[in-house]
């Protein structure tokens, strides 16, 4: 399975600032996703990162708050903008290859604390 590296692994940020999280995969993958896991909660899909075009956002998530880039088939970034304490969560990158019913594989996540 693909090896997924996320940076940073954790960060503490002040409210009003922005943080960009990077996701690097060791092989080309068709699909990349960003999930959020709030404290004590399950995972919620933020968006699907599309190569060369705008990401597809789930209900309740908007591009201005969570801009996403995907310049190629192995890399994506998620930015958490104008942060507030409510954005304190684990953000996880996940990948899969469409068409072969391969499962989702996850990175180790980025633990974000906003003060």
Partner 1 sequence: AQSVTQPDIHITVSEGASLELRCNYSYGATPYLFWYVQSPGQGLQLLLKYFSGDTLVQGIKGFEAEFKRSQSSFNLRKPSVHWSDAAEYFCAVGAGDTGFQKLVFGTGTRLLVSP
> What would the two tokens of residue 91 be?
């953000």
Pattern 5-34, binding to partner 1, x per CB under 8 A? --------------------------x-x-
Using CB under 8 A as the binding rule, whether residue 98 contacts partner 1 is answered as yes
Q: How far apart are CA 115 and CA 70, in angstroms?
A: 29
- Could you say which of 43, 67, 73, 79 contacts partner 1 (CB under 8 A)? 43
Instruction: Using the rule CB under 8 A, give the single segment among 21-29, 65-73, 74-82, 93-101 that binds partner 1.
Output: 93-101
Measured over the CA atoms of residue 27, residue 33, residue 37 and residue 38, the dihedral's sign is positive
Q: How far apart are CA 7 and CA 22, in angstroms?
A: 5
- Could you say which of 78, 92, 95, 114 contacts partner 1 (CB under 8 A)? 92
What's the chain's length in residues? 115
Using CB under 8 A as the binding rule, whether residue 88 contacts partner 1 is answered as no
3-state secondary structure of 85: helix
Q: How far is the CB of 114 from partner 1 (least distance, A)?
A: 19
């Amino acid at each position: 399975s693909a090896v997924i590296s996320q940076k940073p692994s954790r960060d503490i940020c002040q409210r009003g600032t922005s943080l960009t999280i990077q996701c690097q995969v060791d092989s080309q993958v068709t699909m990349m996703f960003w999930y959020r896991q709030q404290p004590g909660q399950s995972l919620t899909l933020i968006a699907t990162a599309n190569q060369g075009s705008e990401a597809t956002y789930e209900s309740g998530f908007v591009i201005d708050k969570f801009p996403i880039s995907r310049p190629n088939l192995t890399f994506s970034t998620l930015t958490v903008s104008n942060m507030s304490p409510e954005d304190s969560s684990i953000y996880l990158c996940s990948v899969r290859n469409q068409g072969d019913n391969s499962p989702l594989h996850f990175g180790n996540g980025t633990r974000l604390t906003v003060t």
